[in-house]
Amino acid sequence: MAYLVDAPTGVSVIPVAGSTGARGERGDPGEKGDKGEKGDPSLVPGPPGAGAQTSRLASANVPQWTAVVPDGPGYCAPADPSNPNHKGIVLGVTAQGGAQGTLIQIQSSGDLDGPETTWSGEQTLYVGAGGAVVPTAPTSGWLQAVGASSSSSHMVVSLGIAETITPPASGAQIPASGAAQRATAAKIAAGTDDSAWISALGLSSVLAPQLTRSNLASKLALPLPFVTMAGYAAVGDLGAGAVYARSATQGLLGIQAQGAWYNLSLPGRIANPAWFGAKGDGATDDTAAWQAAVDTGFPVVASTPPASYLINSTVLLRIGSIVRSDGPSAITKIVVTTTSDLPTFRGAGNSQAHNALISGIEINHSGDAIVIDFGYNLACEVRNCTIRASKSTSTKPIIYYRGSFTKIISNRVDNFRTTNSYVVHCDRRQDDKTKNSSNEFANQELNIESLINDNYFAGTGSGILIGASEDCPRPEGVSVSRNGSILQGVGIKVEAILWLKHTDNTWDQARPYAMWIQPIPFTNGAGQKVGGVTGINSSGNWLSTPADMINGSGLYHDNAGTGALGQSYFADSTFKDHFAYCGYGAVLRFGCTEIDFAGSIFYCPPSALLRQIEGLHERRMAGSS
């Protein structure tokens, strides 16, 4: 608003609306205010809150630092270890206590401060006489820890489990016939004699009345080699669910908290054959002890120092069985020797040993048998093992499997058997002959997606055999990679396959072929059914025979099993490999088609790069050298 000023006398001052004036300059800053008062230094954050608390009326006088039990609705009383009715019902601890009829504050967990006591730091505290919280455990009645002290006026409440205290036998009299050696007057006067022992007869007559006799075998009603103890485990039991091996004798047996029996519930949950009676001396047959260890379901692990076990019967593997060594060093190495004509390890039956694993052990087998026989079981594995088979006349394979997802990885195998013995036999067979409405096998026992990788083979025998021992679908999806060998037999033989990845292997100095393709025919009723080798993708391999072996071949196609109808075949396969020092780089016979060698390298006589016998439908050499 604008106003008229200095107006003549008698003239009214009338407010008149005018325009807004220009903005004035900013004024000087005002004076600084007074400083506030400093806060009270005593006002600091409080201590952490206490643990779980409750309150009840005292039905009797309750001293300071007392454990209490319920005594009717809303009431409590001091706990009494001599009263069996108080066992297991302790509510907690009161630090301040209170007179009869007053409200008592009770804490069942957490930090608790109170009056000074005679405690020292880091002591376990128990319910004592009259409910007093004391560092000394009672010797009769029941026992319960209620926490631990951190000072003379502070404890952390943590209620343990109440246990009944069993008093020891007292007043036992040793009969005259019970002394192992006669007591002399001097010994009687001295009161002790460390050289004197109580005989078994004396112990039996004295302790028998104090013991509860129980035959666990009869209680179980089954001849089991081990038992599992359920329920609460006290200190020294090494955990609830502890497993114990049964004693070899049928006499009196005691199971103590200290683990007087064979306690198998050790850290890592393992089973040691020694706990079941294995001697590990290389001379005693330890098969039964090994089987008992495997049957616990725990991993069977070597003892320390290392042991050499004789297994002359077969150890049957179950679902998920693990036999392993803790490492390759001599400290923990398991050495297993078999001299009989039986497998060392075998699956318990078809589909009864899925996921079995043998790892890091050494096996020496001098008999005429498969060493590890997985049979038809899925996802079995042999890894990081050293295996030596030395029966010079044996034609059996060393590792045999026909189940899917098997892994043979990073093993060293010495095959000193005949050239008809293969380190690994990947097979296909149908044991369950049940047919469905389409006249096909109702329960196909497939062999797919297996791995044979990173192994090393040496000796007089042969390397790998992939085939099918009867009329059924072929193996498929097999990977054979990064294996090395110097064998006097064949490197790899393929009789039946739907798809094979064959990469970066070294089949060196093989005889007479580094890679042998021999498709096998099958019979189906009166007619023939083709076995067939198809889908080989081979690259980066070294295929060689001895330089002086004129008829040696890097790859040899053999249709000898074709039969009159010529129905076995080798087809749809590619090779990008090195063929070295071979009499013939590759030999192909009638019955093969779409075989591609483009990209292969032949270190062979120029006239022997490729030998074609009995005609060839299709083969490509472009790009090879």
User: Which residue bears the tokens 């409590």?
Assistant: 76
For residues 413 and 528, state if they share a domain: yes
Q: What are phi and psi of 607, to 5 degrees?
A: -80, 0
pLDDT of res. 251: 37
Residue 519 maps to a domain: yes
Token pair in block for residue 619? 């083969």
Distance from C-alpha of 339 to C-alpha of 336, rounded to nearest angstrom:
10
Question: 454 lies in a domain?
Answer: yes
Question: What pLDDT does 191 receive?
Answer: 56
Secondary structure of residue 208 in the 3-state scheme: helix
Is the same domain home to 538 and 588? yes
User: Is there a domain that residue 392 lies in?
Assistant: yes
Residues 540 and 575 reside in one and the same domain: yes
232 & 308 share domain: no
As a whole number of angstroms, the distance between CA 522 and CA 470 comes to: 7
pLDDT of residue 204: 52
CATH number for the domain spanning 450: value is 2.160.20.10
Together in a domain, 301 and 230: no
Give residue 364's pLDDT: 97
Contact indicator for 1, 14 with CB cutoff of 8 Å: no
Residues 385 and 528 in one domain: yes
Whether residue 199 lies inside any domain: the answer is: no
Find the helix or strand (DSSP H, E) in which 466 lies: strand 462-466
For the stretch 501-530, pLDDT in tens is 999 999 999 999 999 999 887 655 434 454
Give the closest residue to 51 by CA, choosing from 128, 155, 162.
155
Answer whether residue 202 is part of any domain. Answer: no
Residue 92: helix, strand or coil by DSSP? strand
Query: How far is the C-alpha of 413 from the C-alpha of 424, rounded, in Å?
Result: 10
Which pLDDT tens digit goes with each residue over 432-488? 888 888 777 778 888 999 999 999 999 999 999 999 887 667 899 999 999 999 999
Range of the domain at 57: 53-160
Would the CA dihedral through 402, 405, 411, 412 be positive or negative?
A: positive
Spans of the chain below 70 pLDDT: 1-51, 166-268, 302-306, 326-333, 471-472, 522-531, 560-568, 604-625
216 vs 2: CA distance, rounded Å: 115
My answer on whether 109 and 139 are in the same domain is: yes
228 shares its domain with 329: no
Number of independent structural domains in the chain: 3
What is the C-alpha separation between 396 and 494, in angstroms, rounded?
17
**389 and 509 share a domain?**
yes
Is residue 323 located within the same domain as residue 397? yes
* Residue 262 shares a structural domain with residue 285: no
| Domain end position, chosen among 160, 192, 215 | 160
The pLDDT, as a whole number, for residue 306 is 67
* Residue 168: inside a domain: no
Cα(95)–Cα(51) distance, rounded to whole angstroms? 13
Same domain, 241 and 143: no
> What integer pLDDT is reported at residue 59 of this predicted model?
94
Structure tokens at 224: 């089991």
Q: Is 214 a member of any domain? A: no
Decide: 474 and 445 in contact? Cβ < 8 Å: no
Using DSSP, state whether 439 is helix, strand or coil. coil
Residues facing 542 on adjacent strands? 506, 578
Choosing from 160, 176, 192, the residue where a domain stops is: 160
